[in-house]
Amino acid sequence: MITVKTKQNIQPMHSTRSLRMKNTAIGWSFIAIATVLICLFYFYPMVQALIMSMQSGTGTNLTFVGLDNYARLLQDPTFLTTVKNTVIYLIIQVPIMIILALFISVLLNDKTLKLKGVFRTAIFLPCVTSLVAYSVIFKYLFGQDGIINIFLLKLSIISEPIQWLTDPFWAKVAIIVAITWRWTGYNMIFYLSALQNIDHSIYEAAKMDGASPFQIFFKITIPLLKPIILFTSITSTIGTLQLFDEVMNITQGGPGNATITISQYIYNLSFKYTPDFGYAATVSYAIVIMIVIFSIFQFKVAGDKNA
């Protein structure tokens, strides 16, 4: 038996195909716009910075020098000092912040706690304050005649004011305290959100089996929060390696480069010293390399099979 295709049968098929092609074209147009913008404002500057990192010269008079700038990094005492300072901030401040955020999030996840909204807002509030404003406030707090020294003297904890901003050791402590105060609440929100998605019956079952709060935290909460801990650790690492505002506004890298960071050194190379944009780009790519190394290390420590 032969089936004859009529115009009535062909017309709906043609309309459906045209509609599908139209929707596909519209979808690709949205993707194309986003792709062009990402390439223009992200990938193009990255490629240009990579090319510039292989150039040298004063101001905009740059000449190609290949990998000489990267070899110069290893012989630059100021750069090595910035790396040492930044790594100190990283290995001390990030663990303290992660542990504090975990502890606070567990406390604020307690259903019996009253005024939870007030506490959550108070702890998260530093994250939305101005970087410059809070840095200036901390500069005055840790001044020689600041509130911190006055408070410690009143309690007889110290006999003379601590030189928070002029002593190399205490200046680093002030920076670490400032960063921890600002970003702990930011990480707390991630943990708190993850905790609220954990089925409460898991905890009830553990309590019925006689598990202590200590065992529940380390045997249940921590393993279930492992992906979030990894995420916050990596983002905190990236943020610390790019640390700039706090150091610039509180100590300006002093005393004697004791608190200077890699990002501040990039700023100095570009705008404070005789402009050397090529070498500044090289230092910026050193941050990229460090971020990749630390991220891979954290994935390996966390046991992520995709690392």
**What SS3 string covers 275-295?**
CCHHHHHHHHHHHHHHHHHHH
Q: How many CB atoms lie within 10 A of CB 185?
A: 23
Instruction: Kindly state whether residues 255 and 155 are assigned to the same domain.
Output: yes
Which CATH number covers residue 130? 1.10.3720.10
Q: How far apart are CA 128 and CA 264, in angstroms?
A: 22
pLDDT band at 1 (very low <50, low <70, confident <90, very high): very low
Instruction: Kindly state whether residues 262 and 144 are assigned to the same domain.
Output: yes
Instruction: Kindly state whether residues 238 and 265 are assigned to the same domain.
Output: yes
Instruction: Kindly state whether residues 13 and 134 are assigned to the same domain.
Output: no
Mean pLDDT (whole number) for 189-194:
92
216-260 confidence digits (pLDDT tens): 888 888 999 999 999 999 999 999 999 998 999 999 888 889 999
pLDDT at 99: 94
Instruction: Kindly state whether residues 275 and 220 are assigned to the same domain.
Output: yes
pLDDT at 214 over 60: yes
Answer whether residue 1 is part of any domain. no
CA angle 123, 125, 131 (to 5 degrees): 120
What is the Cα Rg of the chain in Å?
27
Mean pLDDT (whole number) for 183-205:
90
105-141 confidence digits (pLDDT tens): 988 988 888 888 898 889 999 888 888 888 889 999 9
Task: Give the CA distances from residue 304 to residues 229, 231, 233, in Å, rounded to whole numbers and listed in that order.
Answer: 12, 12, 14
Q: How many CB atoms lie within 10 A of CB 231?
A: 15
Instruction: Kindly state whether residues 82 and 44 are assigned to the same domain.
Output: no
Instruction: Kindly state whether residues 31 and 109 are assigned to the same domain.
Output: no
pLDDT at 14: 63
Domains identified in the chain, total number: 2
Instruction: Kindly state whether residues 40 and 77 are assigned to the same domain.
Output: no
Q: Give the three-state DSSP class for 56.
A: strand
Q: Specify whether the CB–CB gap between 55 and 64 falls below 8 A.
A: yes
Instruction: Kindly state whether residues 30 and 148 are assigned to the same domain.
Output: no
Q: What is the pTM of this model?
A: 0.84
Answer whether residue 58 is part of any domain. no
Answer whether residue 244 is part of any domain. yes
Instruction: Kindly state whether residues 21 and 92 are assigned to the same domain.
Output: no
Mean pLDDT (whole number) for 205-219:
87
288-304 confidence digits (pLDDT tens): 999 999 988 888 887 76
Answer whether residue 63 is part of any domain. no
Domain span holding position 19: 7-52
Answer whether residue 228 is part of any domain. yes
32-91 confidence digits (pLDDT tens): 888 899 999 888 988 988 899 898 877 667 888 888 899 999 899 999 999 999 999 999
Mean pLDDT (whole number) for 205-212:
86
Q: Specify whether the CB–CB gap between 182 and 126 falls below 8 A.
A: yes
pLDDT at 63: 85
Q: How far apart are CA 108 and CA 120, in angstroms?
A: 7
Instruction: Kindly state whether residues 40 and 105 are assigned to the same domain.
Output: no
Answer whether residue 57 is part of any domain. no
Q: Both ends of the chain: CA-CA distance in Å?
A: 61
Q: What are phi and psi of 60, to 5 degrees?
A: -95, 0
260-270 confidence digits (pLDDT tens): 999 999 999 98
5-44 confidence digits (pLDDT tens): 544 555 566 677 777 787 788 878 888 888 899 999 888 9
Instruction: Kindly state whether residues 166 and 17 are assigned to the same domain.
Output: no
